Chain A
Amino acid sequence: MARLLVQLKLRLLRNALRSSTRAKASFALSTIFAGLVAVGTFTGLALLRGQSTSVDVTAVVFTLFAFGWLMLPLIAFGLDGTLDPATLALYPLRTRPLAVGLLAASATGAWPLANLLGLLGVTVGLASGALGLLTALVAVVLEVLFCITLARFVTTSMAGLLRSRRGKDLAAFLFIPLFALYEVFTQVVPRLAANGKLTTSSFGGVDSWLRWLPPGLAAHAIQDASTGHAGTALLRLALLAAIIIVLGWLWIRALSHALVTADTSTQSSQVRGGKLPLARYGLRGTVAARFWIYQRRDPTALIFWGINAVIMMAVSVSAILGRNPHPGILILSAVFGAAFVGIFHANAVGWTGPPFVLDAMALSNRRTLRAYLSGQNVVIAVIAVPLLTAISFGLALLANFPAYGFLGMAVDLAGIGAALALGNLFTVTMPFPIEKRAGSPIRTTAAGYTSYGVAGTFGNLFGVGLAVAPVIVAIVLTGHAPAAVRMPILVLCAAGYGLLLAWIGVRIAARAAEHKLPELCQVAIRSKL
């Protein structure tokens, strides 16, 4: 059974590779990235040799890997056919051999191997002596086994939920913290390290509680064995092995249960209210009502706003944590925040997908198209203006440049207007279908339309940058004016300017879309959401 399931996993990987050039590129990148992670982790752990906090940092790294194993399968649930027990439920398989097979399938692939090789850095960084080395090898194997068993247990226990609509929504939401974590590692950690605010000694003492978690047990067993405490090391490894056995037993129980249990998709809740708000305000209000509901209920919309906020914060990191922070970064953060509002709404038709046909049957002329586009824009503005403004003020306070909150707000307001205009223009001139692989919460540009997606991204970035240039020039030129006069005038003028840009955008986009509705419908129909 183990051999069969490992073969299935390899076949799935091979077939994914054959499916498209994008899949090949994605596989190659993923493998290269896994290799880099292995080399980086190995080197990082090896460099801890001789440092007083080496066991603390090792415990943190081991815990982070376990966290990664816990989170990523939840997102990749539908992508890996071996993760969902329902795919195997039809076959006459006994639970135990099936469990061994699934475990072996989990350990197959570039990432588990990278995990194992990377963590072996402890053989250089933490272990010393023959006993320490031997313990390190056993501890790393047990750590990887713990990660795999934990991931299997959680995904199997949640299989029913993850297969359901609500489970997929929840999995999609994981993108926001994962994206934030990525930004922390790429933006915050390097700057803190460069400033000397983050050193290995920063981790001193963190293992006072991490040492009792399974990854901490593995790290401390290596240290104990290396410092001559063989008995304690053995006890720790035995405890870790016992935890893995208990987890494995729980997983097998969950697997037996999951093989004969329906998913929870039929247990849906009812929505409150049930009437469309704003619907009495004509077509514009009706479209705004639907779009507003989607901003609350559609995970994609919430993810967009979450990522938008993270991007603004990430751009400002150097202003907050840098050695010589420049307040101009806060303005740049506002430009990026506004640009991403445009980027995320630059393909409204593709993101709406086939239901756009229902809208299109009611859109017959320029007037109705203006109402349609502006209805969506009102909702975006109602969310973007307070969100971006609050972030600008928050970042300005954190960076100790409170006045820049107002300047950031001025750029936000003008930028949001520009983003709405550009979003509408790209929606009607360069729409493209969106597609989603079965089971995956990730939606991407359909094959063959990557250039459209890239054009929308860079078009919005440069377009918004260009559109807010007059506001930035005004900020620079009025630098010596009294703040009490300068700030309100700048904010009001920027708001008016943004409104004008949005209004022009709606009018031009409606004119462009008037004779393109059938083509827009075809793009929408080809979207697979």
Chain B
Amino acid sequence: MREPAIAVHELRKSFGAKQAVAGIDLEIAAGSFAGLVGPNGAGKTTSLSMMTGLLRPDGGRVLIDGLDVWADPAAAKAIIGVVPAEAQLFERLSGEELLEYAGRLRGLPVAEARGRAGQLLDVLDLTTDAKRLVADYSTGMRKKAALGCALIHNPSVLFLDEPLEGVDPVSADVIRQLLTRFTGSGSTVLFSSHVMELVEQVCDHVSIIDKGHIVATGTTDQVRGGKTLQRAFIDLVGSRAGEGEGLSWLGSSSN
């Protein structure tokens, strides 16, 4: 049996008295398009940060294609790409310079880095803005540029934290198509999101995290169990909405 692209065992992290991630286990098969969903503060970003070597865990193991992220970070980092949640990039570089920089950091030869940067800018619909400073990019353009930086060295596993947050529908579609193409070639994507419809549409594997625990994991069909993913999610983590008794004045029927 082929080993999982991402294997997480007993991963834990606390910040003072607060347990952000409480010993999670996760296995994502190679070629999967996997989603990690959960409410705000559930531990999604903390988990992804530990899986990508950016945050030291209190305990547990993370294996990427069999390479231990914390025992051999150099080897693991070489095969992963990361798009952080806020996509904060080197703002004083142009889009073109940024992607070339990312490629050169990853050890690509100059010509190769420039060539791939040009192709990625083209696919991400950023060619006309390639010479503008990233500081002047919109949120969607920043996310696309960050995705380009994460893909330029052709990683086998890509981690994305809220990749479509604040992104316009056109840019979102570009990102979605690129990611689908990426997983179609056998590479793996794990991304966190709040948007259940998106996860339901594109993911073949879903894990739901709440209060630092994985409360459900499996194929998308297994997790939703005949319901919509939104309904399954609410049933698992519980609805936190108030009844709104104090808003009797709200609405056109009131004054």
Contacts and interface: CB of A to CB of B under 8 A. Distances in A.
B105 A283 contact: yes
Interface string A258-291: 0000000110111110111001100100110110
Contact of A361 (B56, B77, B92, B100): B77
Contact of B97 (A266, A269, A293, A358): A293
Interface stretch (A103-111, A217-225, A517-525): A517-525
Given A279-B110, A355-B90, A286 B131 contact: no
A283 B108 CA distance: 10
B104 A283 contact: yes
B93 interface: yes
A512 interface: no
Interface in A108-122: none
20 contacts: A268-B136, A270-B94, A271-B131, A271-B132, A274-B131, A279-B104, A280-B110, A290-B101, A293-B97, A357-B54, A358-B102, A358-B105, A360-B54, A364-B74, A364-B78, A517-B73, A518-B53, A521-B54, A521-B55, A522-B55
B106 A362 contact: yes
A168 to B, nearest CB: 10
Q: Which A-B residue pairs are the 6 nearest by beta carbons?
A: A364-B74, A268-B136, A354-B88, A362-B105, A270-B131, A286-B104
A438 B253 CA distance: 39
A165 B133 CA distance: 10
Contact of B136 (A265, A283, A293, A353): A265
B126 to A, nearest CB: 13
A525 B161 CA distance: 14
A275 B114 contact: yes
Contact of A297 (B88, B104, B133): B133
B196 to A, nearest CB: 27
Nearest to B149: A358
Most chain-A Cβ atoms within 10 A of its Cβ — which of B80, B93, B96, B131?
B93
Interface string B114-141: 1000000000000000111101100000
Contact of B90 (A266, A275, A283, A358): A358
Interface string A338-364: 000000000000000111011111101
A362 B100 CA distance: 14
A451 interface: no
A422 to B, nearest CB: 25
A365 B52 CA distance: 16
A275 B80 CA distance: 25
Given A270-B131, A355-B88, A362-B77, A286 B56 contact: no
Interface residues of A, number: 40
What does DSSP make chain B's interface, helix, strand, loop or mixed? mixed
A248 B190 CA distance: 58
Most chain-B Cβ atoms within 10 A of its Cβ — which of A271, A275, A298, A357?
A271
B163 interface: no
Interface size of B as a range: 35 or more
Contacts of A521: 54-55
Given A165-B135, A275-B96, A361-B53, 8 more contacts: A269-B132, A270-B94, A274-B130, A276-B97, A290-B97, A355-B88, A360-B54, A525-B54
A460 to B, nearest CB: 25
B84 interface: yes
A518 B56 contact: yes
B86 interface: yes
B92 A293 contact: yes
Contact of B101 (A276, A357, A522, A529): A276
Most chain-A Cβ atoms within 10 A of its Cβ — which of B84, B97, B113?
B97
Most chain-A Cβ atoms within 10 A of its Cβ — which of B86, B92, B101, B131?
B92
B131 A358 contact: no
Contacts of B55: 518, 521-522
A298 B97 CA distance: 15
B78 A357 contact: no
B89 interface: yes
Contact of B73 (A265, A354, A364, A519): A364
B11 interface: no
A359 B105 contact: yes
B82 interface: yes
A439 to B, nearest CB: 16
A360 B86 CA distance: 16
A428 to B, nearest CB: 16
Contacts of B96: 274-275
Given A290-B90, A358-B90, A364-B77, A274 B54 contact: no
A357 B106 CA distance: 13
A406 B105 CA distance: 40
A286 B78 CA distance: 17
A289 B105 CA distance: 11
Contacts of A354: 84, 86, 88
A294 interface: yes
B89 A355 contact: yes
Nearest to B78: A364
B205 to A, nearest CB: 24
A357 B74 CA distance: 14
Nearest to A296: B92
Nearest to A516: B56
A453 B91 CA distance: 24
Contact of A365 (B74, B80, B107): B74
Contacts of A269: 132
Contacts of A268: 132-133, 135-136
B158 to A, nearest CB: 12
Interface in B24-56: 52-56
B96 to A, nearest CB: 5
Contacts of B97: 271, 274-276, 290, 293
B71 to A, nearest CB: 12
A362 B105 CA distance: 6
A279 B113 contact: yes
Contacts of B133: 165, 268, 271, 297
Contacts of A271: 94, 97, 131-133
Given A270-B132, A361-B82, A365-B74, A276 B149 contact: no
B88 A279 contact: no
A297 B56 CA distance: 34
Interface string A358-379: 1111101100000000000000
Nearest to B109: A280
